[in-house]
Amino acid sequence: MSKELTVESVMKKPVITLKPTSSIMEAADLMRRENIGCIVVTEDEKPVGIITERDIVRFVAIHGKEALDSPLSSAMSSPVVTCTPDTAVTKAYVIMYEKRIRRLPVVKNGKLVGIITERDLIYWFLKMLGYPEKREVIERLK
């Protein structure tokens, strides 16, 4: 019997994080600079929330552009859904599907150690189908 691939082999690290007291504008600017769609909100390396581009758009649409000065704690999703590095990749997919989330922070001993995204899972799946490189996937799909 073969051992199933775990999240540890697919996750990205390090994870871009901010504190709950950081402003929504700081998060939006950091997402832009890093070309990412979310930031994990941490206290002492422990995830306490997550903020996505969608969260920011909704929050500003409701509260106005002045809301950009608000702390992340006022707009983040919390508690954050997580998994561990030894979680099977297929189980991570099921968690994301059932919870209707696109990003899953990875926690070991309560501390953030990585993140797995929907995109990571798509590339993993395509690799399982025989596409060894992301570049090859893109070329074959053109």
> Which domain CATH number covers 85?
3.10.580.10
Tell me, yes or no, whether 25 lies in a domain: yes
Which pTM value belongs to this model? 0.85
Tell me, yes or no, whether 33 lies in a domain: yes
pLDDT, one tens digit per residue, over 95-114 is 999 999 999 999 999 999 99
Tell me, yes or no, whether 116 lies in a domain: yes
Of 126 and 33, the structure prediction assigns the larger pLDDT to 33
Q: Give the contacts of 92 (CB within 8 A, at least 6 positions apart).
A: 7, 83, 104, 116, 121
Contact 25, 69 (CB under 8 A): yes
Average pLDDT of every residue of the chain = 90
Contact 99, 107 (CB under 8 A): no
Q: How far apart are CA 72 and CA 18, in angstroms?
A: 9
Q: Which of 5-14, 105-114, 117-126 is modeled with the greatest confidence?
A: 105-114
Which domain does 43 fall in, by range?
7-141
pLDDT, one tens digit per residue, over 40-84 is 999 999 999 999 999 999 999 999 999 999 999 999 999 999 999
Name the domain count of the chain: 1
Cα distances (angstroms) measured from residue 112 to each of 47, 67, 78, 135, 138: 6, 28, 15, 29, 31
Q: How many CB atoms lie within 10 A of CB 134?
A: 13
On the question of pLDDT at 5 being above 90, the answer is: no
Report the share of the chain in percent with pLDDT over 90: 78
Q: What pLDDT does 129 receive?
A: 78
Tell me, yes or no, whether 1 lies in a domain: no
Which amino acid appears at position 8 of this protein? E
Tell me, yes or no, whether 62 lies in a domain: yes
